[in-house]
């Protein structure tokens, strides 16, 4: 079955990005700067010749450097219909102009284009002087260029990261990421985990693997923030065929290591639950996300949580996980 | 169900300046405890919550949640909104409560991604 009208996720993502770029780019970044301008004293015939010579369909009219009107191909047609090609630009130009500023967002111009029926907008600087012209075509070109540039940058980062392991020869190559997690730092809670998830995606992990690892380290990160005496460390070691994630701290240690694995069991006080944590699902979630999980804890040495994710399908644990979504 | 349809159903207001309102949402989860959310939510989903802190957005990012609805007319903190905008997670708020929002969306055919927590650690 083929349905060409259906967007793929990838295409939909690109469309979203185009919409976002319309908010991020300013008009000055996409407008045409070297504009052919007309004097109001030119005859319409001279204007017609200029339009032909430069293959343009409209131009701003300047008098003493100030914008006084805009002449479009429609005005020329009107003039030809009247049979008065000898009249002046000032007779046919439209003086009721909609302008936009160089600093406006591209999306503002898009709104203007859809609300009015103008095809081009004179763009003025902060002093009201003409700085350029903008057509819908300029916007399309500008957005495509920006999209292309971003895409190339991200592709390059991904390419470099995903080929990291191929380019380096050793008996065992790995990449280690370390994050220091502060006690009670709820403002940044989850930031390290999101960095880890993004890093794994750049290194070539599938979205499913990145998501599962992300959930596991997010739970571990929140545990370090909520339950430790002095915070702790998140350490992720990426190898070509497995990801080893570790969360460790120096205390106070877990009171009842069997009970802590039960779904719904939580030692988090009420203020923590009010922040949305302490559901008693953390370690259970980690266990169901990764292929192997080991928890060590003592009052003297604190807690060490090891999590392993295998990236090879042949691995027995990885396969059984893949079967249960 | 498209994000635009969801916003209309819950009488919501989009708080982030841009969002692809055509994005398809496959199901939803309502709750305030983030670990409960992570335990059962699936990708391409909507999270309905009364919790207002940045962890909601971080949870959405980690779990590939595509839309967050804040219930009961609450407005999230600036930190939360800034993060949502920077990370491109669309955020909506509505005067309706969790029960009403969930009810309307389910009635309109959006499935639940909530799963019971019947399993025990020693089972597997």
User: Could you read off the pLDDT of A244-301 as tens digits, one per residue?
Assistant: 999 999 989 998 888 888 888 888 888 888 888 888 889 989 999 999 999 999 988 9
3-class secondary structure, A74? helix
What ipTM describes this predicted complex? 0.88
How do B65-70 and B45-49 pair as beta strands?
parallel
Tokens at residue A89, please?
């630009």
Give the relative orientation of helices B54-62 and B78-86 as an angle to the nearest 10 degrees.
Answer: 30
Q: A33-42, A215-224, B16-25, B28-37: which has the minimum mean pLDDT?
A: B16-25
A20 pLDDT band, cuts 50/70/90, is confident
In a domain, B34, yes or no: yes
Number of domains in chain B: 1
In a domain, B26, yes or no: yes
In a domain, B58, yes or no: yes
List, as ranges, residues 195-254 from A with C-beta within 8 Å of B: 197, 207, 211, 214-215, 218-219, 222
- pTM for the structure as a whole: 0.72
**Nearest-CA neighbor of A133 among A125, A143, A123, A141?**
A123
**Nearest-CA neighbor of A278 among A222, A234, A232?**
A222
Predicted local confidence at residue A319, as pLDDT: 41
Contact status, residue B56 vs residue B49, Cβ threshold 8 Å: yes
In a domain, B73, yes or no: yes
* CATH number, residue B71: 3.40.1390.20
| Interface residue A12 vs chain B (CB under 8 A) | yes
Residue span of the structural domain in which B62 resides: 3-109
Task: Let me know if A131 is exposed, middle or buried by CB neighbors in 10 A (0-12, 13-18, 19+).
Answer: buried
In a domain, B114, yes or no: no
Domains and CATH numbers, chain A: 9-141 (3.10.580.10), 173-323 (3.30.565.10)
Indicate which of B14, B23, B62, B74 best probes the interface with A, i.e. most A CBs within 10 Å of its own CB: B62
User: Could you read off the pLDDT of B95-110 as tens digits, one per residue?
Assistant: 999 999 999 999 999 9
Task: Please state the length of chain B.
Answer: 124
> In angstroms, what separates the C-alpha of A265 from chain B's closest C-alpha?
11
In a domain, B120, yes or no: no
> In angstroms, what separates the C-alpha of B112 from chain A's closest C-alpha?
16
Instruction: Compute the distance between CA of residue A36 and CA of residue A88 in angstroms, rounded to an integer.
Output: 17
Tokens at residue B18, please?
């841009």
User: Could you read off the pLDDT of B42-82 as tens digits, one per residue?
Assistant: 999 999 999 999 999 999 999 999 999 999 998 898 889 99
């Amino acid at each position: 079955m083929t349905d060409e009208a259906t967007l793929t996720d990838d295409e939909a993502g690109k469309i979203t990005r185009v919409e976002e770029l319309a908010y991020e780019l300013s008009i000055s970044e996409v407008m045409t700067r070297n504009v052919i301008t007309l004097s109001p004293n030119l005859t319409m015939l001279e204007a017609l010749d200029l339009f032909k010579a430069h293959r343009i369909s409209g131009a701003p009219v300047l008098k003493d450097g100030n914008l006084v009107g805009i002449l479009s191909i429609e005005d020329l047609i009107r003039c030809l219909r009247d049979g008065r090609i000898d009249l002046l630009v000032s007779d046919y130009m439209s003086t009721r102009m909609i302008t936009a500023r160089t600093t406006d967002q591209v999306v503002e111009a898009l709104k203007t284009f859809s609300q009015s029926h103008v095809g081009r907008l004179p763009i003025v600087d902060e002093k009201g002087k003409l700085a350029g012209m903008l057509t819908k075509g300029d916007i399309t070109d500008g957005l495509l260029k920006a999209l292309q540039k971003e895409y190339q940058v991200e592709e390059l980062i991904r390419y470099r990261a995903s080929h990291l392991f191929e380019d380096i020869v050793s008996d065992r190559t790995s990449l280690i990421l370390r994050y220091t997690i502060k006690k009670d730092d709820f403002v940044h809670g989850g930031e390290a985990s999101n960095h880890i998830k993004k890093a794994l995606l750049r290194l070539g992990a599938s979205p499913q693997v990145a998501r599962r690892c992300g959930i596991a380290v997010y739970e571990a990160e929140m545990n370090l923030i909520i339950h430790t005496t002095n915070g702790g460390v998140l350490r992720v070691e990426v190898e070509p065929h497995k990801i080893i994630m570790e969360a460790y701290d120096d205390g106070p240690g877990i009171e009842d290591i069997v009970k802590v694995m039960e779904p719904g069991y939580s030692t988090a006080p009420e203020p923590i639950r009010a922040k949305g944590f302490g559901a008693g699902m953390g370690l259970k979630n980690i266990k169901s996300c990764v292929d192997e999980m080991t928890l060590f804890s003592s009052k003297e040495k604190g807690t060490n949580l090891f999590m392993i994710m295998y990236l090879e399908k042949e691995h027995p644990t990885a396969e059984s996980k893949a079967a249960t979504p | 169900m498209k994000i635009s349809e969801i916003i209309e159903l819950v009488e919501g207001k989009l708080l982030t300046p841009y969002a692809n309102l055509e994005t398809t949402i496959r199901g939803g989860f309502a709750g305030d405890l983030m670990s409960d959310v992570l335990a059962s939510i699936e990708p391409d989903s909507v999270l309905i919550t009364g919790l207002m802190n940045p962890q909601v957005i971080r949870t959405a990012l980690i779990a590939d949640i595509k839309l967050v609805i804040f219930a009961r007319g609450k407005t999230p903190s600036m930190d939360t909104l800034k993060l949502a905008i920077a990370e491109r997670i669309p955020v909506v708020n509505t005067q309706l409560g969790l029960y009403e929002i969930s009810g309307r969306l389910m009635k309109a055919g959006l499935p639940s991604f909530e799963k019971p927590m019947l399993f025990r650690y020693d089972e597997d």
